[in-house]
Structures are given as C-alpha cells and as structure tokens.
Structure 1
Amino acid sequence: MDELSELLVEVVEEGAAIGFLPPLELHEARNYWESLLKSDVVLFIAKINNEIAGSIQLHLPTKQNGRHRGEIAKVMTHPNHRRNGIGRLLMQKAEESAKQAGISLLILDTREGDVSNQLYRSMGYNAAGRIPNYAKSADGQLHATIIYYKSL
C-alpha cells in the first residue's frame, strides 16, 4: 500500500491528470487506495526489481444494462520507468482481464494533449469526443478531456 501511495503522490506531483491535484499528502493517497480495495475494481501493478513501476485500474460493470462495458482508469507509470512499454503492458493485461470477465467494450478518458493519447490510439482506441474545461490543473487552468472507446 505504501509503494502505491508513493507512486500516486509522485505522478500527481509531476502533473498527471488522474483526479488529484498537488500537493497530494501521503495519507490522502493511502486513503484512496484503501477505499479502492472495497470496490468493483481490478488493480494491476507492474514491478521492476521489486519496485512498483506502474499501475492501472479496470473498473468492472455495476449497472445491469452495462454488464458488457468496463472502464480503464488511473494509468500510472513511475517517472523513472516511462517510455519503456510499462503503460502498454498494463493496458494489455487490463484488456485481457476484461475479455475474461465478459466485457466487450472499454472506455477511458484522458487530458487532451497528454502523451497517453498516443498510447491509446496506437492500441486501437477510438476518440468518441472532447469535453472542454473538464479537469482543473494545480494552477487553476481548465483542460479538455478526450473520451476513448475500444471494442474487444
């Protein structure tokens, strides 16, 4: 739990658009992970040399009319391990798990202009639309988000 909390604090401090603003306190990050354990979320963790290099969440469906769809969230790669395929590997694992769970449609969103957009497009995700002024950064600036989907 501590390593995940440290990863979350680190990527938020670097400006990741994952629902938190810096400065994120370690105890707040820990509370987040603890609450996640009680939900319908599958968490995947990538480790290199026994250290967490990244993580991803697969949110399982909870609505009766949406049992076929899941959501990818909080794709994080530690700054020391970026551009090494960790994000792609985590995405592949989440997609495999989704298929095994009977999910045929995945959705996700990410801040417009982030490098993650390239990853999602290269993995076959289609942009469904853009929502302006969706997320606020630490400096108060509002940013658009891009909504993606992929049929499995």
Structure 2
Amino acid sequence: MHTIDRLSAEEFDASVKDLANLLVDAVDSGASVGFLTPFGHEAAAAWWRAQAPAVADGSLVVWTCRDGSGINATVSLALARKPNARHRAEIVKLMVHRDARGQGLSRALLAAAERGALAAGAGLLLLDTETGSTAEHVYLTGGWTRYGIVPDYAGSPDGTLQDCSFFYKHLTAAG
C-alpha cells in the first residue's frame, strides 16, 4: 500500500534522511537529476536541507510516496515567484526508487502535483528530462507536450552530456 502526502515544513525536515536515500538511489541508478557520481548521503542530505527555506515559504511544494519501508518516491513543484509568472510552475525532482518502479507511482505523484498547482493558481506546468529516458515516456504518454530538445543540455551522473526534452502541460480543473 502506498500513500502520497504533501509535506509540511516540519514533515520535510523530518524526511530529509529518507529523501537523501532516494536521491542517492536515483543518481546511482543513472537518473539525470542534477548530480554527478560519486554522490553520497551527506551531499544528498545537504542538498535537501538547502531546500528547506523554499518549502517553509511555500515556493517549493514536496510530495512523497511511502510504503511500509519509508519514502520510495517524490516529486516537487517549484512555484514561480515573479508577479508575471504566477500562472506557471515547474515540476522538479520526480524520483522513484529503483525497487518501486513500474507501479504507477510517477503518474500518481504527477497527478498530486497537478492538483497542487491548480490549487496554487498555476495552470501551466513545465519540466525537462533526458531525451529517450523512461521518464520522457511517462510525460509523452501522460498528456504533456514536448516543445523542444536541446542537444548536450545536461550531464548524466557519469558526466556524459545528454540531450534534454522540454515539456509543458496546460491544466484544467476537470483534469
């Protein structure tokens, strides 16, 4: 049984260790989420702790998926701060532990983030992902529109430059 919850600032602080474990697993399994190997738990926890002010002020919203063993997936929503951009937000750090993949957790977390975006007044979502990745397939089949590919945009965990696909999705209250 999996439960998806939006983390309060206090819950976020208490979840940093589990979130760090998930981030390390993502990097170790080859996910292009902004970090290079070797990447350890201390660095992962420090990165998550650095997000705490944004979680506390509401500009970063974090959802987690838990099972009996702890956090096995997460997604974050970065709300735009500029006055002329408050209608949009960015999906960041969608990660599913390698042992929990293939269970629909990405789609469930994306649905939670989409509902959260609408509740915050953001009807346009943006994201980027490695071209050709499993994540890209999730977006292509989940109602997202790819609007471009940038060659050599980001490095994979081993530092190899990879193409990146950029997506958007217009949200409606009806889904």
TM-score normalised by structure 2 residue count: 0.84
Report the Cα distance in structure 2 between the residues aligned to 1:139 and 1:16, rounded to whole angstroms. Answer: 10
| Aligned residue number for residue 67 of structure 2 | 48
The answer for unaligned runs of 5 or more in structure 1 is none
| Aligned residue number for residue 134 of structure 2 | 115
Deviates more, 1:116-125 or 1:73-82: 116-125
| Aligned residue number for residue 36 of structure 1 | 51
Report the Cα distance in structure 2 between the residues aligned to 1:2 and 1:113, rounded to whole angstroms. Answer: 30
| Aligned residue number for residue 22 of structure 2 | 7
Higher relative contact order (CA 8 A, sep 6+): 2
| Aligned residue number for residue 33 of structure 2 | 18
Counterpart of 1:128 (choices 147, 166, 169) is 147
Aligned ranges for residues 40-79 of structure 1 at < 5 Å?
Answer: 40-79=59-98
1:31 to 1:140, Cα distance in 2 relative to 1, 3 A: closer
Deviation, 1:140, is 3.3
Report the Cα distance in structure 1 between the residues aligned to 2:156 and 2:39, rounded to whole angstroms. Answer: 13
Report the Cα distance in structure 1 between the residues aligned to 2:39 and 2:111, rounded to whole angstroms. Answer: 29
Deviation, 1:50, is 4.4
Give deviations 1:35-76, integer Å, cap 9, x for gaps: 111112100000011411100000011111101000001100
What is the number of residues matched between the two proteins? 152
**Any conservation in 1 of the 2:73–2:105 contact (CA below 8 Å)?**
yes
Counterpart of 2:120 (choices 86, 91, 101) is 101
Aligned ranges for residues 76-87 of structure 1 at < 5 Å?
Answer: 76-87=95-106
Q: Structure 1 counterpart of 2:67, which letter?
A: I
1:146 aligns to 2:161 (yes or no) = no
The answer for unaligned runs of 5 or more in structure 2 is 1-15
Report the Cα distance in structure 1 between the residues aligned to 2:158 and 2:81, rounded to whole angstroms. Answer: 35
1:101 to 1:138, Cα distance in 2 relative to 1, 3 A: closer
TM-score normalised by structure 1 residue count: 0.97
Q: Percent identity?
A: 36
Report the Cα distance in structure 2 between the residues aligned to 1:85 and 1:138, rounded to whole angstroms. Answer: 24
Report the Cα distance in structure 1 between the residues aligned to 2:53 and 2:28, rounded to whole angstroms. Answer: 26
Aligned partner of residue 65 in structure 1, secondary structure: helix
